[in-house]
Amino acid sequence: TSCKHFVAYSLEGAGGWPHPMRDSNRHNFDAVVTEQDLADTHLPMYRGCTESGAMGMMTAYNAVNGVPSCANGKLTNDLARGVWGFNGTVVTDCGAVSDLWLLRRYAATGKDAAEAALRGGTDVECGNTVKESATPEMADLMRVAVKRSFAVRFRLGEFDVRQPGHEAKVYDRASHASLAYEAAVQGTVLLKNSDGTLPLPLTGKVALAG
């Protein structure tokens, strides 16, 4: 199980919506969130995910209160690992580390971006910034990241000697497809738009409670 996207991630797609956030997107957005809102709204599901034994966590593209998620040691190292006891691998979304210097200007160079991500708790980068820009001075940071990554792979049995007879003998049967279909049907909820409530008008106010 992997917990994603950590945290306060709310812009999926090329641009923000509605105007005036049309120039914002998940690569440059800074989620300004109070400590209370983080604790009450954004963090509980991630805590539950980590405490249930998740071995992976993917950081979000966005920043949280000015610090990009892939370099946010306060959230990744101090909170998730230090308080919640997360003991898995932290991986970035693709291109997030290069965003640190090419887009956000949070780091001055690729080297600075690589170091910021490693210090911020990143173990695996989806991208090439760390690979291309890390220096020997980052060896200790790299060593920690590699150990954490391989520890998960060992726990998952990736390097175990394959035992004969453990391969699945039965797969892709009609009964499997039928069960998957039934699960999808049972999990679907349809709302009847009997009074023409939807789509909501662009003007007016809506109260959301829950």
Tokens (6 digits) for 75: 């959230």
First to last CA, the chain: 28
DSSP state of 23: G
Query: Which residues make beta-bridge pairs with 91?
Result: 58, 124
Given 37, 78, 93, 123, the catalytic residue: 93
Q: Nearest CA to 135 among 112, 117, 119?
A: 112
> In angstroms, how far is CA 205 from the centroid of its own chain?
32
Name the token pair of 165.
């007879």
Residue 23 catalytic?
no
Element (H, E) at 3: strand 2-6
Pair of tokens at residue 83? 């308080």
CA 209 to CA 162: how far, in whole Å? 52
Q: Which two tokens stand for residue 35?
A: 């400590």
Name the residues annotated as catalytic: 93
